[in-house]
């Protein structure tokens, strides 16, 4: 069982930056792909980014490519999502998730563990 806790959300103006963090409870997080997903009000949850256990391969949703960067620190049991050039449409509840294995999966069903989410609001 892996518990995940997100932090770093908040209110930021358009064009600004935020860094989200995902703290894992177990060292076995080093065996899991870490993914970030988000859900805006009235919309389905969507894939944002994923990074394999080694950190050598990443994958991004089309709407965040070139603006967001996912990273991880297996020693510290942490995952990160650096978000730059934020837009109002990035406003959402952001979730960290962990899926066993080494594929940068965008499918939610491939992730067994989920955090409670951290809110990001981007004002225009």
- Report residue 108's pLDDT band, with 50, 70 and 90 as the boundaries: very high
pLDDT of residue 104 exceeding 90: no
Strands annotated E in the chain: 4-7, 10-13, 18-24, 32-39, 46-51, 58-60, 68-73, 78-83, 92-100, 113-114, 118-123
Tell me the per-residue pLDDT of 37-56, one tens digit each, with 9 for 90 and over: 999 999 999 999 999 999 99
* Span 57-92, pLDDT tens digits: 999 999 999 999 999 999 999 999 999 999 999 999
* CA 105 – CA 65 distance, rounded (Å): 16
Average the pLDDT over 2-6 and give the result. 97
* Burial profile 92-104: b = 16 or more Cβ within 10 angstroms, e = fewer: bbbbbbbbeeeeb
Terminus-to-terminus CA distance in the chain, angstroms? 40
Mean pLDDT value across the chain: 97
pLDDT band at 30 (very low <50, low <70, confident <90, very high): very high
Model confidence band, residue 96 (pLDDT cutoffs 50, 70, 90): very high
């Amino acid at each position: 069982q892996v518990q995940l806790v997100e932090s770093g959300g908040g209110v930021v103006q358009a064009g600004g930056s935020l860094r989200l963090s995902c703290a894992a409870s177990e060292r076995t997080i080093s065996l899991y792909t870490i993914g970030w997903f988000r859900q805006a009000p009235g919309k389905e949850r969507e894939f944002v980014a994923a990074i394999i256990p080694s950190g050598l391969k990443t994958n991004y949703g089309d709407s965040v490519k070139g603006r967001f960067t996912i990273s991880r620190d297996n020693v510290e049991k942490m995952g990160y999502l650096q978000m730059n050039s934020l837009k109002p449409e990035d406003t959402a509840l952001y979730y960290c998730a962990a899926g066993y294995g080494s594929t940068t999966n965008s499918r939610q069903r491939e992730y067994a563990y989920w955090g409670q989410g951290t809110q990001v609001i981007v004002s225009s």
